[in-house]
Structure 1
Amino acid sequence: MASIFTRIIQGELPGHFVREDAHCVAIMTLNPMKPGHVLVIPRQEIDHWDDLPPELAAHLMQVSQTLARALKRAFPCERVGMLIVGLEVPHVHVHLVPIDAMQDIRVEGLDQAKAEDLADAAARIRAALD
């Protein structure tokens, strides 16, 4: 059975895409830790990050760095935090979160964002990629 991320990538479910290429996509998460919270997801459905082929892992890191710079422009912050957790969806995904304090990073008790807020955040990040 396809993961929820595969279904979004294939267009079966809606997603607010920030960036995509032949190997991965970046989408807004439905339950952001902070505005601008993005997920970088390989198109290939791999459950554990340590099973990623080295080339794909390097590509995800390069894309994450590019997006982190854009996030800093679109959502001014002290840093962009990165997490790879993997318990909630069995498909590797890198969380990128604009943060100013350690308490900005949390994975539980998050509210679902409004679609218009996600669309606005995605547009701001895409504009900052230019």
Structure 2
Amino acid sequence: MKKYWFKTLCLLCVVLLTSVLLVSCDDDDNDGDPRNGMIENRTPYAVRLNFSGIKIIEIAPNAIVRENALEEGKTYQIQATIFDNAGAVLEVVNSSTYIDKDADDRIVANQTCSWYIRIWGEAVPFTIESAS
């Protein structure tokens, strides 16, 4: 009888240990790509973003752009240039963001992404915020 209980207890321990490992190693990012990001222009003006001189993106007023060409595991200096309707520079705003090596599930404008950049404001000074 003792042998039966001992085997049952050992089997139960193995099952519990295996289930704990499976649950703790669960990946909840849906195997997303950490390079997938969103850039949101919440201004009434056109914006040009320069990512460390490597990538330049132009965004229309009040537009959202999906971006996935930035390298993961790297920090980018961001220079946002805001233009008025005549094409004159209103302001240049500098910031930085890190593109993480792990994908996160953020929701921006009902879209899932790993990082985002948001430029907002109605007039000078404009604000740039980012998260990754």
Fold shared per TM-score above 0.5: no
**Which of 1 and 2 has greater Rg?**
2
- Structure with more of its chain in strand, by fraction: 2
TM-score by length of 1: 0.27
- Structure with more of its chain in helix, by fraction: 1
TM-score by length of 2: 0.27
